Chain A
Amino acid sequence: MDEAIRAEGLVKTFGPTRALDGLDLRVRTGEVHGFLGPNGAGKSTTLRVLLGLMRADAGTVSLLGGDLWREATALHRRLAYVPGDVTLWPNLSGGEAIDLLGRLRGGLDRRRRAELLDRFDLDPRLKGRSYSKGNRQKVALVAAFASDVELLLLDEPTSGLDPLMEEQFRELVREEQRRDGRTVLLSSHILSEVEALCERVTIIRDGRAVESGTLAEMRHLTRTIVQADLTPAADAAATAAGLAAIPGVHDLATAGGRVSFEADEGALTPALSRLAAVGVRGLVSTPPTLEELFLRHYDRSGASGATTGAGAATGAAAGGERAEAGR
């Protein structure tokens, strides 16, 4: 079996809202797969369907080679799940919650448990109601990583963790990666986290997978930003009109003798030839970033991919958030 998860055409509606709208997801055995999408895209719903907690209205799911809806308990023994919003029993200590969840799954590694508590700097004696959000998250992570399972389903596992603990988490995922046959599905809305950990990524938006592949493949999908200062003799307006006629050139703008635009991979050669023909004094090209692709998918208004003013604004805000998260 080389696919740990295979979901095809998942549809899930909640009343009038269509949470999943024909979602496809394939996760290969042994890989760390990023599941990226903005809030409300359907990531948590997908994980719940995968776990057999929710039933899809249409589509098929196969997880670890089985049907979750029918053989849930047998398959659940082989996986661990960290929910997006961890709540603990108020009158149980964190240590008890860890042991309980581990034992319900079929046992956990005591040495590993102790090591994880140490690495996450977590006091297991506190009662559930006394933990902060980040500490509740740690309890769930310890319970999941201390279990000897083939598949980890992690729903935004780093929310509420401080940067130091986030690094610990990344280290843990990398360790899992090195062990044979361990599969991790990591849902996240933070690109840097996925970039740092995942071999393959699926981007979900409005309940549909909009991109799926390796990070290298995805970079090809992004655009190069080009900024050219034309020679004084050149007719900026005419050049711009010529560039605009090339398919794959977006967001064209001229200011004085300066032309800027974004170009898809295929549009680069014709665009540069045209620039070369009129003559350039200076040229700045910004290499494609995943961030830009990602934000294009996040931005609901820019459905066709054109980066609008609103998209740029969100981009700046999200970029700031990202910088903060990575610090």
Chain B
Amino acid sequence: MTGLAGPRALTGTGVLTGVGVLARLALRRDRVLLPIWVYVIGILPVSFAVTFADLYPTAADRAEFARTSAGNATFMALYGPLSGSSLGELVVWRGGFIPVITGLISLLVVIRHTRTEEEAGRRELVGSTVVGRQAGLAAALVVTLAANLGLAVVTAAALSLRGLPVAGSVAAGLEYAAAGWIFAGVGAVAAQLTTSAGAARGIATVALAGSFAARVLGDHGGFTVPGGPGGSWEWLSWASPIGLVQRIGPYAATSGAERWWVLAVAAGLVAALVAAAVALSARRDLGAGLLPDRLGRAEAAPAFGSPLALTWRLHRGLLAGWLTGFALLGLVFGGVAAGVTDLVEDNPGLGDVFTRLGGRAGLIDAYLAAIMSILGMIAAGYAIQAVLRLRAEEAAGRAEPVLATAVSRPRWAASHLVFAALGPAAAMLLAGAVTGLVYGLTDGGVGRQTARGLGWAAAQLPAVALLAAIALALFGLLPRLWAMSWAVLAACLFIGLVGSGLNLSHWLLDLSPFTHTTHASGGSADPLPLASLCVLVLALAAVGLAGLRRRDIPTT
């Protein structure tokens, strides 16, 4: 830290003065997390290469796998279309969700170093020193763009060393980096719009989710003949940044070569987003957003006088955002499920595979189980976020004045936990109902499919509640370690998305509650795992609340 205020910072007087110092500050603050995500995501594709080479050693094996997987609606929704059967293409296809992850991390990092700093007032402290007015934004972007470039290098090097074609490996690395760069730009723009970092994160994440949804719809609608893109909806995939970067097509043996020009389009998009963010930032005051703050009520509404009334105000925006997002995801996944029919009919060659999976109904079941388990993990993210509002209130010093009134600690906690429990449940059930409804519209059994969709969604709720309960237990007992809740969710996501592909041993897969709810939603599993999940949830919640009753507030 000693170099931060060195004399070099004092040279120059432009809008970018001090960008190097601020970039080093950002690197210093992210010195643990940044290298971890660059490295972990960077080598993830190699782990797929190892697994695929293990499971499908010959070209014939891989061709067979590609033939049976190309028409799988679940895979298509999650990873995108599979273009060929070379090892490289399989690896890149399997890593089709990586651009979403790099995009998400990048937008979060940019907002963390821009709007969050500004909202906390630290930007003002820094801004009063010799620092140009665009330096903060520039430093956040430089760090994020460089981290993504580092990720590209790690990916390209690791895949090349594994013996895959160098050009394709470089293209794969750049695909992931390009997604990160674009959403870093999206984050930079969102950070200029609102005064609160939370709202900025919301806007940018909605943009990412929309881009993912457009990619799913575009890939699916465009997928009229298994094995090759083409069709009326395909433009949606091109319009989506996630779909766009995937169209670089690393290791694309069938189409001849990678589409390197797509990188130029992505670079243009990044440049446009950064220019927009810079222009917006130049026009506004420190601390202000482009969307203005309105005046509030001079007196509170008569009913505004209970902890629950307060938490309704604090959680309702979050709730509305998640409900909207989950309804949209339900639309997308339901639409994809409806299309599974076409896939089966268009490709009689897959008949035996489908029969093995239990026919069309079995395929839909497998698809819905996979989709709902992923939605469950996303809903768990919401649940953790809602529980951790307690910690945010405490850390910001807003819990103290409330607890110094006639509100007991359990009542205060409960007022937040209501939303942590019911919010994710409502979002899940909504997504399940919409998925079933949309699927039922093509199937003809709207009522039956909606009920089934609700059932699928409900089966995930114990696992969602478990992650919320873990967050609550941490908050009550080990409040300093609240961030571990996210690590637990990350582990579940890792097991759920990558675990089976990595041939992890069964007991490791069983550690994730979502492994059990996925099995249970198949309808055949015994109720014991679900019952024990529920007991565990109650026990952890009780432990968390007991810890909260006994501990100091605030614990810093």
Contacts and interface: CB of A to CB of B under 8 A. Distances in A.
Interface of A: 48, 51, 53-55, 72-74, 76-77, 79-81, 83, 85-96, 98-101, 103-106, 124-127, 129-130, 140, 143, 153
A104 B295 contact: no
A86 B396 CA distance: 9
A91 B196 CA distance: 9
A124 B296 CA distance: 8
A324 B278 CA distance: 42
Given A53-B553, A90-B196, A96-B296, A74 B406 contact: yes
Most buried by B among A83, A88, A104: A104
Contacts of A124: 298-299
Interface of B is mostly: loop
Contacts of A92: 296, 313
22 contacts: A51-B404, A53-B552, A55-B550, A73-B406, A73-B407, A81-B401, A83-B401, A83-B404, A92-B313, A95-B297, A95-B298, A95-B299, A96-B297, A96-B299, A99-B304, A99-B305, A103-B306, A104-B306, A104-B406, A124-B298, A124-B299, A126-B295
B554 to A, nearest CB: 8
Contacts of B317: 91
B: contact size bracket:
35 or more
A76 B397 contact: no
Nearest to A140: B401
B300 interface: yes
Given A91-B313, A129-B196, A81 B404 contact: yes
A93 B300 CA distance: 8
Nearest to B550: A55
B402 interface: yes
B403 interface: yes
Q: What are the nearest 3 A-B pairs in CB distance?
A: A93-B296, A103-B305, A99-B300
B315 to A, nearest CB: 11
Contacts of A81: 400-401, 404
Contacts of B195: 90, 129
Contacts of A93: 295-298
Contacts of A105: 405-406
Given A95-B297, A100-B310, A129-B196, A83 B407 contact: no
A10 B348 CA distance: 81
Contacts of B313: 89, 91-92
B406 A76 contact: yes
A129 B295 CA distance: 11
Contacts of B293: 127, 129-130
Contact of B298 (A79, A80, A125): A125
B295 A125 contact: yes
A125 B295 CA distance: 5
A54 B297 contact: no
Given A53-B553, A99-B299, A104 B305 contact: yes
A88 B398 contact: yes
B175 to A, nearest CB: 38
A100 B408 contact: no
A136 B314 CA distance: 19
B553 to A, nearest CB: 5
A77 to B, nearest CB: 5
A206 to B, nearest CB: 20
A89 B401 contact: no
Interface in B533-549: none
Interface of B: 119, 195-196, 293-300, 304-307, 309-310, 313-314, 317, 396-398, 400-408, 550-554
Contacts of A125: 295-298
Contacts of B554: 53
A94 B170 CA distance: 55
Nearest to A79: B404
A145 to B, nearest CB: 14
Contacts of B552: 48, 53-55
A101 B296 contact: no
Given A90-B196, A92-B296, 16 more contacts: A54-B552, A73-B406, A77-B405, A81-B400, A81-B404, A87-B398, A90-B195, A92-B313, A95-B296, A96-B299, A100-B304, A100-B309, A104-B406, A124-B299, A127-B294, A129-B293
Contact of B404 (A76, A88, A90): A76
A269 to B, nearest CB: 51
A126 B298 CA distance: 8
Nearest to B294: A127
A144 to B, nearest CB: 9
Given A53-B552, A100-B304, A129-B196, A83 B405 contact: no
Nearest to B287: A129
Nearest to A90: B196
Contacts of A106: 405-406
Contacts of A54: 552-553
B404 A87 contact: no
B307 A104 contact: yes
B304 A96 contact: yes
A302 B305 CA distance: 51
A76 B405 contact: yes
A278 B162 CA distance: 99
